[in-house]
Chains A and B, each alone.
Chain A
Amino acid sequence: MNSRPPLSTASFRERALAGARYAADIIPPDTVLAEIVRSPHTHARVKRIDSRATLAVPGVLAVLTAEDFEGIRLGHLCADEPILSSVARYFGDGIAAVAAKDRQSLMRGIEALRIDYELLPHAITIDDALASPVAIHDFCADNIAEKFQAVRGDWQAINSRVALWVENTFETAAIPHAYLEPRACLVRVDGKRLELVCGSHAPSMMADFYRPIVAGWGSQLEVVTPAIGGSFGAKWEHPSQLVCLLFAQRLQRDVAMVLSRRDDMIAGRTRAAMRIRMRIGATAEGELVAKETTLWCDNGAYSLHGPAVMKAAAIRGDNLYRFSAIKADAQLVYTNNMPSECFRGFGITQSTFALEQLIDELARRLKLDPAKLRLSNTVREGDTAVHGWKIGSCGIADCLDGISNRIDRHRRDNALPRSERYRTGYGLAAFIHCIGNRGYDKRFDRAFVTLRTLPEGGIRISSGEVELGCGTVEVLIKTVARELATNRDQLEVVLGDTATGPHGMGSYASRTSFFVAMAALDACRRFKRAAEQMRVEFGMTKPAEIGELVARARQQQRLGDLEVTGDYQPSGVVVPDETGYGNISAAYTFGAHGCCVQVDTYTGKVTVTQYWAAHDAGTIVNLNETQGQVIGGVIQGLGFALTECASVAESGQLLNPGYLDDRVPTFPDAPPVEVLFTDTYEKKGPAGAKTIGEPPIIPVPACIANAIRDAVGVRVYQLPMTSERLWRAINDDDARSGPKGN
């Protein structure tokens, strides 16, 4: 098995030709199949599992239960998720697993399994969980998984400066990531060596996490990354992988699991739902002075990245404005819901829904133009923001100007009729975001790129970062082809292969393009140095063609000397302190969005008719892919704003596991999006670039909410802003009075 060549990562072209291979495409026909058997109860203790009938089904090979994973828990920040649980903590929690030689035997085996439960009272709302005498985890009596507090500035002093407070409570919904490729994994076994093939956005981190566990079984582990059909923050560690690993180790056979869409949504993860109470205070002239946030984050049954998500929501967005004083008080609450997880723009997307509506409301109260109010309060290059972010290149002013102009022009050119029934309105919202996060992993925030000259010719570029469709492969090929003056067809890219490539943190936090490009630049420098040394040694004349040199090196069996690894770690970044203070990122991205909505006041139905997204992503290197990320993020944000929601019954049962009722945007739902980029140059970035991954989703719900307010004079403080909720707000006199002020 060791002779299997590494799986080269599908380029854009291969994906366009339908030639990319995703995990489920790689599973050979005779592979043993596994399934996790899930609890139909929201909170229940498993009394007994009777697997005799299951094991008697011809073709069934093995059954696993909680005992087989004693002491093993998932969770980078708080290890609390069992692989298979003896207590079901949400509807769909995995209780047992079955492996069989084919799908039919597997299903028969699962249907024969008998599990007895003792039902426990469940809590699916934050309030219920806080009030509940029943602990969801034994180690956490009050169901508060973590608390976070931050206080900055002189709160005594600000009271005299604040002329106006605006305040409200906002709620955001849990939504599934709904990536189109359901989770799938394949474990190949070769004696003590296990190879996990699965589409994860952080394969090295996954290997780091699983290796000690697998070592406990006496085995070694490598992770291989095929094409990934979307992750959006979801595809980290998942019980399905460890279940397959253990089956494969025990059975000494290759084992695979492919989730169906329904099971993927039931057993998947969601964006964390939040309740955010927020107020901001300003002077009568519109200078932002203070912000206070009280936040409850629905962790779901297990923590995963809950603590980081909560902290990001509590303070990240504050860095956009020159607040003098900040208070944040947040709680991460265990409930009997699906575990929440990172989701594109985690935390900050939720809290921006609150902050940018309050800013808009403040502008209304002070009768100031909302773009101008923001312009006069945002951070600028050279600032140290309120939570310690050191602001480098900053194009927020151009973004706000760009959007403001687009809105004005649209308003002028489209004298939209204002009927009794249909109302039109415009909205605007802004954001700040980071590139990577030094605080995420205590060790480092870092990327490596290895260049290896292949015996058969060409150069292999390897990295532990992956391609999620954002253009990682293209960034690497472009960078290396340019720096080494070599043809693209001489370059092969292998991403996320822990056996042959370097370590990588993974494709999250909008870090990938920036980090891999920097590491690739470093690798190219080292490569050129090594090549130059070799040239001198071989006595070749300058300038030797790389190809010529490689031929000589091959002859002399010196190819190894042309293998180099480039390394990038941003300078000047720190692990923030426990209150979240510190410069976490090499550079920061900015943007402002605007939109025009039409509201049917009779039904509350909102139609976004035009959308503008202005971004400071540094100097744009790949226009198409960068633009594509923006448009895609906006449409995802539209779903989060208006239609998507994990609907949970009082029993805790997920009511809409599928695309029919979990309403992700479809083709006709997507409004035209015009994308604008500032011509910012980031001197710390590769060729002046910053990044784009998460930012486009961040301001969307607030932007649409502000346009709705403009159109009909009311707000819906709860996501998704469905037709019914807006219709109620329009018909509710209290809602018209708007947020409370003093």
Chain B
Amino acid sequence: MGSQVSIIRPSYLPEIELFRPSSIDGVFECIKDGARVLAGGTDLLPWASQHGQPRKMVWIGNVEPLHGFSVDDERLQIGACVTQGELIRCADFRRAAPAVADSVQFVGSVQLRNQATLLGNVCSASPAGDTLPALLVHEAQVEITGAPGQERQVSLDDFLLAPGKTMLAPGELASGVSFCGLRANEMSAYRRHTERRALDLAVASVAARLVFEADGYTVAGARVALGAVGPTALVAIEAAKSLVGHPLTGETKSICAAIAAETCKPISDFRASADYRRQLVKVLVEDVIGEIEQRARIFKPNGEGR
């Protein structure tokens, strides 16, 4: 037996040729030239240190339009350069998308959130990416710019293909993400399991968004999404459907949790085994719904309790 794999490359950032265009056009020129897009850099730079590449990067922070960030009742629009820290500090954002706000606060630390962008977490497409299940239940759409002026919207569910893989084609830029804000009688939440309380990757995670009937208890609509239990964050369609038309009871919650646990596709790795991850999904689904119930009472339509 012989082998050609020679060494473990010492972990240091390679010499990077950095481009800093101030227009989208400029960004595309660099991309065409083989540069990788650098936004917050909290995923890309450690990766580059370990692998010794990419060595050409185009930083998009100078492109003014990519810093756009708007919250209205219908939809939130988040530009590619908006950091997670900026989002958390915005009370309107926290009110409009509680699950996403929950999830962002689990990412890294204060320092990292000040650097990392929301879209960066999306494009890294980690199966355990915290914001992904939350964005899925808020029906996120990724804005892909193929060339200057050529934009299309892709649902996040379609956008995520495999661990670290998205449908972003060579030469394309993910320029923003948009998602639904809460409407009347809606609430969302995100929970995860980690071994440590901070600085950890989710072993399993669950987000849910529920729409209630006017009675405040019967579920009129539901979205449930799961993280770290499949090659990508998953929408648990069947589990969500099981809640619709029923009031939230111990039984409906546990049915929903059981379906979610059955339908997810976890793997075993050094962080946890597949069957433990299923168990966590079961527990977390009930916990998240419990959290929504608690929060929803505060937001009852007649404003009682606020």
**Does a CB–CB distance below 8 Å link A and B in the complex?**
yes
Interface residues of A (CB under 8 A from B): 35, 37-41, 44, 47, 91-92, 95, 103-104, 107, 110-111, 113-119, 260-263, 266, 602-603, 605, 642-643, 647, 649, 655-656, 659-661, 663, 665-669, 722-724, 727-728
In the complex, the answer to whether A40 meets B7 with C-beta atoms within 8 Å is: yes
* B62 in the interface (beta carbon within 8 A): no
Nearest to B108 among chain A residues (CB) is A660
Q: Tell me the bound Cα distance from A600 to B50 in angstroms.
A: 37
Tell me which of B2, B3, B52 contacts A111 (CB under 8 A).
B52
Per-residue interface assignment for chain B, residues 7 to 49, with 1 indicating a CB less than 8 Å from any chain A CB and 0 otherwise: 1111110110000000000000000000000000000000001
Q: Which residues of B contact A647 (CB under 8 A)?
A: 270
Other than the given A659-B199, A723-B195, 4 more pairs (CB < 8 A) read A116-B4, A602-B283, A642-B195, A669-B198
Q: Which residues of A contact B6 (CB under 8 A)?
A: 40, 113-116
Q: Tell me the bound Cα distance from A647 to B197 in angstroms.
A: 20
**Interface of chain A, helix or strand or loop or mixed?**
mixed
Q: Tell me the bound Cα distance from A95 to B10 in angstroms.
A: 13
Nearest to B7 among chain A residues (CB) is A37
Q: Which residues of B contact A114 (CB under 8 A)?
A: 6
Tell me which of B4, B15, B203, B270 contacts A656 (CB under 8 A).
B270
Q: Tell me the minimal C-beta distance from B211 to chain A in angstroms.
A: 27
In the complex, the answer to whether A104 meets B15 with C-beta atoms within 8 Å is: yes
Q: Tell me the minimal C-beta distance from A87 to chain B in angstroms.
A: 14
In the complex, the answer to whether B196 meets A663 with C-beta atoms within 8 Å is: yes
Given A665-B196, A666-B198, A724-B276, A47:B2 Cβ within 8 A:
yes
Chain B interface residue count, Cβ-Cβ cutoff 8 angstroms: 34
* B193 in the interface (beta carbon within 8 A): yes
* B167 in the interface (beta carbon within 8 A): no
In the complex, the answer to whether A119 meets B270 with C-beta atoms within 8 Å is: no
Q: Tell me the minimal C-beta distance from B51 to chain A in angstroms.
A: 11
* B91 in the interface (beta carbon within 8 A): no
Across the A-B interface, give the 3 residue pairs with the lowest CB-CB distance, nearest first.
A262-B11, A668-B197, A647-B270
Q: Which residues of B contact A724 (CB under 8 A)?
A: 272-273, 276
Q: Tell me the bound Cα distance from A724 to B283 in angstroms.
A: 13
Given A119-B2, A605-B193, A39:B283 Cβ within 8 A:
no
Nearest to A115 among chain B residues (CB) is B6
* B182 in the interface (beta carbon within 8 A): no
Nearest to A44 among chain B residues (CB) is B3
* B73 in the interface (beta carbon within 8 A): no
Q: Tell me the bound Cα distance from A110 to B201 in angstroms.
A: 32
Q: Tell me the bound Cα distance from A442 to B201 in angstroms.
A: 48
17 interchain pairs (CB within 8 A)?
A37-B8, A40-B8, A92-B8, A107-B15, A110-B7, A113-B6, A260-B10, A260-B12, A263-B10, A266-B8, A605-B193, A663-B195, A666-B196, A666-B199, A668-B198, A727-B279, A728-B276
In the complex, the answer to whether A603 meets B193 with C-beta atoms within 8 Å is: yes
In the complex, the answer to whether A723 meets B193 with C-beta atoms within 8 Å is: yes
Given A602-B283, A603-B279, A655-B270, A118:B1 Cβ within 8 A:
yes
Q: Which residues of A contact B5 (CB under 8 A)?
A: 40-41
Q: Tell me the bound Cα distance from A118 to B1 in angstroms.
A: 6
Q: Which residues of A contact B200 (CB under 8 A)?
A: 660, 663
Q: Which residues of B contact A95 (CB under 8 A)?
A: 7
Q: Which one of B4, B9, B14 has the highest number of Cβ atoms from chain A below 10 Å of its Cβ?
A: B9
In the complex, the answer to whether B270 meets A118 with C-beta atoms within 8 Å is: no
Q: Which residues of A contact B12 (CB under 8 A)?
A: 103, 107, 260
Q: Which residues of A contact B2 (CB under 8 A)?
A: 47, 116-119
Nearest to A103 among chain B residues (CB) is B12
In the complex, the answer to whether B8 meets A38 with C-beta atoms within 8 Å is: yes
Q: Tell me the bound Cα distance from A297 to B199 in angstroms.
A: 31
* B280 in the interface (beta carbon within 8 A): yes
Nearest to B277 among chain A residues (CB) is A724
Q: Tell me the bound Cα distance from A222 to B147 in angstroms.
A: 63
Q: Which residues of A contact B283 (CB under 8 A)?
A: 602-603
Given A114-B6, A115-B6, A643:B196 Cβ within 8 A:
yes
Tell me which of B3, B10, B195, B279 contacts A119 (CB under 8 A).
B3
Q: Tell me the bound Cα distance from A47 to B4 in angstroms.
A: 11
Q: Which residues of B contact A262 (CB under 8 A)?
A: 11, 50
Q: Tell me the bound Cα distance from A261 to B2 in angstroms.
A: 30
Given A113-B6, A724-B273, A727-B276, A667:B198 Cβ within 8 A:
yes
In the complex, the answer to whether B10 meets A35 with C-beta atoms within 8 Å is: yes
Q: Tell me the minimal C-beta distance from B79 to chain A in angstroms.
A: 27
Nearest to A37 among chain B residues (CB) is B7
Q: Tell me the bound Cα distance from A660 to B199 in angstroms.
A: 6
In the complex, the answer to whether A110 meets B10 with C-beta atoms within 8 Å is: yes
Q: Which residues of A contact B15 (CB under 8 A)?
A: 104, 107
In the complex, the answer to whether B7 meets A38 with C-beta atoms within 8 Å is: yes
In the complex, the answer to whether A603 meets B280 with C-beta atoms within 8 Å is: yes
Q: Tell me the minimal C-beta distance from A99 to chain B in angstroms.
A: 13
